[in-house]
Amino acid sequence: MSNNSIKNRLDNQRLAEAFKALSNPNRLKIFQQLMDCCTPGTVCSTEEVTKSCVGDLGNGLDIAPSTLSHHIKELSRAGLIRMERRGQHVDCWIDPGILEQLSRFFKGDPNP
């Protein structure tokens, strides 16, 4: 079976990694915060808000900065979010397309 025929399709391994990234309550909260504040492909901080996404995403989580950094890196390695340095800060946003792909997986679509 050529289950990799379509490039955009998430195979078993990549899917499992995405779910693993979301399996930690703190990481899931970070992801949800990004879902709330960022439309896919758009950087979280607008022009007038110069705060860093990384720092902001720790609000209400009660974890050390090193732990926050680690979680965000995990989300990035799993392909769920993107990050880019912007001065002192590092902006984060949800990978464009990943929400659609994961949503379709649970619909049982043969072409996620």
Partner DNA sequence: ACTATATTTCGAAACATGTCGAATAATAGT
Partner DNA sequence: ACTATTATTCGACATGTTTCGAAATATAGT
Q: Which residues bind DNA (CB under 7 A)?
A: 20, 23-24, 26-27, 52-55, 62-74, 83, 85, 87-90
* Best CA proximity match to 84, nearest among 46, 58, 54: 54
As measured in angstroms, the least distance from the Cβ of 87 to a copy of itself is 29
Residues that bind a copy of itself (CB under 8 A): 12-13, 15-17, 19-20, 22-25, 28-29, 32, 35, 99-100, 102-108
DSSP code of residue 41: T
- CB-wise, 9 or 89, nearer to a copy of itself? 9
Long-range (24+ apart) CB contacts under 8 A made by 16-19 are 17/77, 17/78, 17/79, 18/78, 18/79, 18/80, 18/98, 18/102
As measured in angstroms, the least distance from the Cβ of 6 to DNA is 18
Cα maximum dimension of the chain: 51
| Residue 107 touches which member of DNA, a copy of itself, none, C-beta under 5-8 Å by kind | a copy of itself
| Residue 103 touches which member of a copy of itself, DNA, none, C-beta under 5-8 Å by kind | a copy of itself
Pairwise CA distance, residues 37 & 58, whole Å = 14
Q: Rg (Cα) of the chain, in Å, rounded?
A: 15
| Residue 49 touches which member of a copy of itself, DNA, none, C-beta under 5-8 Å by kind | none
